[in-house]
Amino acid sequence: MFIDVHVNPAFYELINADESLEDMRHEVLNVHKNGTAKLEHIFNQMRLAGLDKMCLLARDYSVCAGCVPVSNEEIRTIVDAAPDRFIGFASVDPADPAAPEKLERAFTDLGMKALALYPPRQRFYPMDDAVQPLYDICERYNRPVYFSAGMSWEPHTLAKYGRPVEFEELAETRPNLRFCIGRFGWPWVEEAAMVMVKHSNVYADTGLLYFDCAQEFFTRLFTQEIPMTWIDRSLRHQVMFGSGQPRFEQIRMAHALDNLGLRESTVELIKGQNAIDFLGGLEEG
């Protein structure tokens, strides 16, 4: 089983019948060079990368930007088109007074499997009071949280809100809440590793920024900035494959992971089992 836990479906044709929505997404997400993708194209990309399932992240910027780039309902529409391949992650804006109610509905009525939050864009720290009720709901439904962390290409993002050390207190005070530090917290990869090695409920994904060559970037980060043995021995159950697609190509990142020199058993954990554990099990749709 090979799972990508970090996929942005903003430009899937299925949810872009309205041209004005597509234009809004290009501007808000700072993605301009791609058009909309048919499901057949998405499935072909999955086949080339060897992927079995992808986690699709909603984005709710209703307060911080006055828009919802990808709604929970749109994620449900995409998942319904291929429930054997897609896993839906809900999103709410913590500054929205209705956020707890929206999240409850996302988990119950829409069947979302996790919560996706964007601290650098939504401008909150992981321990802020406004987000605590959302953690309560996640714990009650045994749903994990995916945090966009570190550097983001999106406009109006501030990396300080997603610095890995900011998640240390959350891991300490909520040991039953599984959460992922997205993009391995780049550029603070060593700092992310520090939080992870202390707290088994903390995960990270490989959806790192890379400027041109995924292999070169992965090699630098996972064999030089932190020793490869850290992942191969101490963090092997907490790292998940994530691509950040469509900004980055899944096939390149999959090949980069395969060629790092990690033990085969570690690569298999990163590709699938760790994501299954993060999700609390795997159920279709």
Q: Are 265 and 233 in contact (CB under 8 A)?
A: no
- Sign of the four-CA dihedral 48, 54, 56, 57: negative
Which region among 74-88, 150-164, 168-182, 202-216 has the lowest average model confidence (pLDDT)?
A: 202-216
Looking at the domain assignment, is residue 187 inside a domain? yes
Looking at the domain assignment, is residue 51 inside a domain? yes
Looking at the domain assignment, is residue 284 inside a domain? no
Rounded Cα gap, residues 4 and 39, in angstroms: 16
Whether the pLDDT of residue 91 is over 90: the answer is yes
Rounded Cα gap, residues 249 and 210, in angstroms: 10
Looking at the domain assignment, is residue 285 inside a domain? no
Quote the domain boundaries for residue 155.
3-279
pLDDT tens across 9-22, in order? Answer: 999 999 998 888 88
- Sign of the four-CA dihedral 264, 280, 207, 35: positive
Q: By three-state DSSP, how is residue 169 classified? A: helix
Q: Who's near 267: CB < 8 A, 6+ residues apart?
A: 257, 258, 260
Rounded Cα gap, residues 94 and 207, in angstroms: 24
Radius of gyration for the alpha carbons in the chain, expressed in angstroms and rounded: 17
The share of the chain scoring above pLDDT 70, in percent, equals: 99
Q: Total structural domains in the chain?
A: 1
pLDDT (average), residues 42-69: 96
CATH code (residue 139): 3.20.20.140
Rounded Cα gap, residues 65 and 56, in angstroms: 21
Looking at the domain assignment, is residue 42 inside a domain? yes
Looking at the domain assignment, is residue 50 inside a domain? yes
pLDDT tens across 224-273, in order? Answer: 999 999 999 999 999 999 998 877 789 999 999 999 999 999 999 999 99
Whether the pLDDT of residue 25 is over 80: the answer is yes
Q: How far are the Cα atoms of 22, 94, 247, 251 from residue 15, in angstroms, in the given order?
A: 9, 24, 18, 24
Looking at the domain assignment, is residue 98 inside a domain? yes
Q: How far are the Cα atoms of 16, 111, 119 from residue 83, in angstroms, in the given order?
A: 19, 11, 29
Dihedral angle at the C-alpha atoms of 150, 217, 219, 193, nearest 10 degrees? Answer: 0
Q: What is the pTM of this model?
A: 0.96
Q: What is the DSSP track for 37-92?
A: B-HHHHHHHHHHHT-SEEEEEPEEETTTTSEEEE-HHHHHHHHHH-TTTEEEEEE-
Retrieve residue 207's tokens.
Answer: 């959806």
Rounded Cα gap, residues 250 and 207, in angstroms: 9
